[in-house]
Amino acid sequence: MNSNTFGLGDIKKELQHLSSLQIADLCLRLARYKKENKELLAYLLFEASDEHGFIEKAKGEIGFMFSQLPSHNYTAAKTVRKILRLITKYTKFMASKEAEIDLLLSFCRNYLQYSDRKVSYKPLRIILTRQILKIKDLIGKLHEDIQADYLEHYNSLLTEAENKYPWFYKGEYAL
Give tens-digit pLDDT for 34-46.
Answer: 899 899 989 998 9
Domain positions in the chain are 51-172
Determine the pLDDT at residue 118: 60
- Residues 123-134, buried b or exposed e (16+ Cβ, 10 A)? ebbebbeebbeb
Integer Cα distance of 91 and 114 in angstroms: 23
Determine the pLDDT at residue 175: 81
Integer Cα distance of 22 and 92 in angstroms: 26
Query: Per-residue confidence of the chain (175 residues) as pLDDT tens digits?
Result: 556 788 889 888 988 988 999 989 988 888 888 899 899 989 998 999 999 999 999 999 999 999 999 888 899 999 999 999 999 999 999 999 999 999 999 999 999 998 876 667 889 899 999 999 999 999 999 988 889 889 999 999 999 999 998 888 989 998 8
Radius of gyration of the chain (CA): 20
- Predicted TM-score (pTM) of this structure: 0.87
CA torsion through residues 79, 83, 84, 89, sign: positive
- Main-chain phi, psi angles of 93, to 5 degrees: -65, -45
